[in-house]
């Protein structure tokens, strides 16, 4: 893909503080943030609604959201376009550059 191509957003739920600015700025209401524990939030994106505009990534104060370069989004079932980014249990989490 050409440099600067924006695919759908990806979330690093470990860093999310639940401010919901991404929800407020999403022009198609494609994002949902759910509190799953104290100071722990899970993000979900409906790729059937998402325009890949990048507004959510620009708005996020913690840089939780990045735009991917994915472009093959075809799904035979509409529900498969709803992607959830769960918070992994501590023992499964790795930091960038660390091996599992």
- pLDDT tens, residue order, the chain (100 aa): 788 888 899 998 888 888 999 999 999 999 999 998 888 899 999 999 999 999 999 999 999 999 998 888 777 888 878 888 887 654 444 444 444 4
Coil, strand or helix at 42: strand
pTM of the complete model? 0.76
For the domain spanning 9-87, the CATH number is 3.30.70.3270
| pLDDT at res. 88 | 63
Q: CB-based burial of residue 16 (10 Å sphere; 0-12 exposed, 13-18 middle, 19+ buried)?
A: buried
Element (H, E) at 82: strand 82-85
CA distance 66 to 77: 25
Cα separation of the two ends of the chain: 29
Cα gap 33→2, rounded to integer Å? 31
């Amino acid at each position: 893909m050409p440099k600067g191509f924006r695919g759908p957003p990806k979330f690093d739920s470990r860093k999310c503080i639940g401010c919901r600015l991404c929800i407020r700025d999403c022009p198609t209401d494609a994002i949902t943030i759910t509190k799953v524990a104290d100071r722990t939030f899970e993000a979900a994106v409906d790729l059937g609604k998402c325009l890949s505009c990048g507004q959510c990534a620009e708005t996020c104060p913690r840089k939780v959201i990045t735009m991917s370069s994915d472009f093959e989004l075809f799904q035979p079932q509409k529900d498969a376009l709803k992607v959830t980014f769960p918070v992994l249990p501590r023992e499964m989490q790795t930091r960038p550059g660390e091996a599992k």
